[in-house]
Structure 1
Amino acid sequence: MEQVANLLQRAANSNAVINTLLASVFAVLSLRSVEQQRQIEALEAEKDSLVKANKGLKKTIWDWKQQLFSEAEANPQNAFVPLSTLKVIYGEATPAASVIAGGADKEDAKSTASKIMI
């Protein structure tokens, strides 16, 4: 037991052992840093593709909205959803009780309006 303790004492006082330990710790930290950099680059690439996809979805939604508005405006009698209701849904007009609830009382209109907006 005394020999093991003596050996450990000499190793702790040896510059070569300390330098080797420090070099190995530096190597491990460098490898970890390289791996983290790869992860960051992969996440940035994923972010770019998600941003492009979101822009595409926003454009599609905008096109659908414009199509709904034009169809409701062109033929108001046969429109599935009236233009005034579409404007309320998309926040381009303030909701009126008769437009949302079809003439129901104001409390029902408010609950219907909140359901549509959500």
Structure 2
Amino acid sequence: MELANKAIEFANRAASNNTVVNVFLGGAFAGLTLRSWNQQRQIETLESQRESLVKSNKSMRQTMWDWKQKLYADAEADNKPIVPLEKLKSIYGEAPTVPQSAGTPEKDGKASSTKIMI
């Protein structure tokens, strides 16, 4: 119990001593400064990485565009292309897709007939 009383008395004297308070506040300020400096370095590193990623993405986008145009040109040039141009355009979302159920027989082999109800 005596040890606890001495510790409390020491803490009370330290809290009322301006030097101790100033050292504590200075240490806290130094710690926050160091953390801010580290974060600033990380931000600068991430910004430089972002610039290189943007350049890389633009390059990949251009390459994919060139490939797509080459596919279209090959499909138009061949008499019997591996993948027809209409199929390529539907894959890339440039042509309206035709529903697969239109014009196909039903499961039991009968063609679907249109029913008009008035």
Check whether TM > 0.5.
Answer: yes
Q: Are the aligned partners of 1:76 and 1:83 in contact in 2 as well (CA < 8 Å)? A: no
Structure 2: tracts of 5 or more residues without a match: 107-118
What is the aligned partner in structure 2 of residue 31 from structure 1? 34
1:27-85 CA deviation, whole Å, 9 max, x = no partner?
A: 000000111111111111111111111111100100000000001111132x1111111
Q: Are the aligned partners of 1:76 and 1:82 in contact in 2 as well (CA < 8 Å)? A: no
Report the CA distance between 1:4 and its aligned residue. 3.7
Structure-2 separation of matches of 1:96 and 1:5 = 83
The answer on 1:87 being equivalent to 2:89 is yes
What is the aligned partner in structure 2 of residue 13 from structure 1? 16
The answer on 1:75 being equivalent to 2:97 is no
What is the aligned partner in structure 1 of residue 104 from structure 2? 105
Report the CA distance between 1:104 and its aligned residue. 7.4
What is the aligned partner in structure 2 of residue 22 from structure 1? 25
Report the structure number with the largest CA radius of gyration: 2
Report the CA distance between 1:9 and its aligned residue. 1.8
Bigger helix share: 1
User: In angstroms, what is the RMSD of aligned CA positions?
Assistant: 2.2
Structure-1 separation of matches of 2:76 and 2:38 = 57
Runs of 4+ aligned structure 1 residues displaced above 6 Å come to none
Change (3 A) 1:68 1:104: farther
Helix, strand or coil at the partner of 2:95: coil
Query: What's the % identity of the aligned pairs?
Result: 47
Count of residue pairs the alignment pairs up: 102
What is the aligned partner in structure 1 of residue 46 from structure 2? 43
1:2-36 CA deviation, whole Å, 9 max, x = no partner?
A: 44433322111010000000000000000001111
Using CA pairs below 8 Å that are at least 6 residues apart, which structure has the higher relative contact order? 1
TM-score scaled by length of structure 1: 0.76
